[in-house]
Chains A and B, each alone.
Chain A
Amino acid sequence: MLALGACGLAVAQIARQWSPLAKDGVHDPKSPALGLLQEPGEALSKLPPDTAGNQVAWVRALEEGTIEPRATLFRQAPMEVRDTDVLLNLKGSTPVVRFPHKPHTRWLACSNCHDQLFKKEPGSNVYSMERILQGEQCGVCHGAVAFPLTECNRCHSVPRRSPALAAPGAGR
């Protein structure tokens, strides 16, 4: 078991690789910037691991203080962190979606989502995986910069028979 565990760890280490800029297909290998720009592997290898996207658990990195990104340049207002969860997709067949405001509001302002992408009133938004997959709604970020849409269970995370769904106010 121990050997298997060690091997699994080794595989994970091998799997966590980042393309050098010169070979990533996006940068011009002849660009004089290469060698001056930071390589992804140099920065990202030091951050908490994930299996998708940049292979970095960005929310964890912020929570644990591995990174301390600035919240403003010149503005004086602090981040307006909101600690409410919203349950969505209550009538669907896939597991219920739990949307946690907290990690979102540690990165973003209310106005980034409200009211252009989503109305604030509970139950007033019609969600569609089709639209999300086309880069709208949650798909503005998820599938582009936040964890990708291959990770169904991270959003569809509450089983249909969960006691959480029977709690007063659930789904609001």
Chain B
Amino acid sequence: MRGPFKFAALALTALAFALVAAPLPAEYGDVVLNKRSEKEGVRPVVFPHWFHRIRFRCVVCHDELGFRMRAGANDVLMKDIIDGKFCGMCHNNQIAWGAERCDLCHSGKPGQQSHIVGGHETMGPGRW
């Protein structure tokens, strides 16, 4: 195929992909937390790693705040957050919105189990 035609063909293919592409997945690293949320009558929590890591290095939450690095492994109660522990270290109306803005964190689609988006089952050779 000659240059210009090749260009047109590639451009059309790209366009076709863009138009027919499957729905995009949630962001890599998004954590859904639903150990208690729905039982307590609120939506599951969605924690976006991408948003937080722009502003804080991993060490802040995973060392200073004491979050274990495993989705669903941390027992976090709303009481802890209101008392200034875990998320409440920042979500206190000083650094970020406070605990009374329930819906901003509890924004997940109902019916999900606690999990992290990504993982070997969706992104790696484990499924190949």
Contact = CB atoms under 8 A, between A and B. Distances in A.
Interface of A: 3-4, 6-7, 10-11, 14, 17-19, 23-29, 31-34, 36-38, 40, 43-44, 47, 52-54, 56, 58, 62, 67, 69-75, 79, 106-109, 111-112, 133-135, 139-141, 143-145, 148-150
Nearest to A74: B64
Among B24, B51, B70, B125, the one with the most A-chain Cβ atoms within 10 Å of its Cβ is: B24
B7 A7 contact: yes
Given A14-B14, A26-B109, A71 B60 contact: yes
B60 A73 contact: yes
Given A25-B25, A144-B119, 7 more contacts: A25-B109, A33-B105, A73-B95, A107-B59, A108-B63, A112-B69, A149-B123
A70 B56 contact: yes
Contacts of A112: 58-59, 62-63, 69
B76 interface: no
A92 to B, nearest CB: 16
A12 to B, nearest CB: 10
Interface residues of B, number: 61
Contacts of A17: 21, 24
A74 B60 CA distance: 9
Contact of B123 (A38, A79, A134, A150): A150
Given A108-B62, A145-B118, A150-B123, A40 B107 contact: no
Contacts of A19: 23-27
Interface of B: 3-4, 6-7, 10-11, 14-15, 17-18, 21, 23-30, 32, 43, 46, 48-51, 53-60, 62-65, 69-71, 89-90, 95, 103-105, 107-110, 112, 116-120, 123-126
Among A24, A67, A144, the one with the most B-chain Cβ atoms within 10 Å of its Cβ is: A144
Contact of A4 (B6, B43, B117, B119): B6
Contacts of B54: 43, 47, 67, 69
Contact of A75 (B64, B71, B110): B64
27 contacts: A3-B7, A4-B6, A6-B7, A14-B15, A14-B18, A24-B24, A24-B27, A26-B117, A28-B107, A28-B108, A28-B110, A31-B43, A33-B107, A56-B50, A69-B56, A70-B57, A71-B57, A73-B60, A109-B59, A112-B69, A133-B125, A133-B126, A139-B120, A140-B69, A140-B70, A145-B49, A149-B126
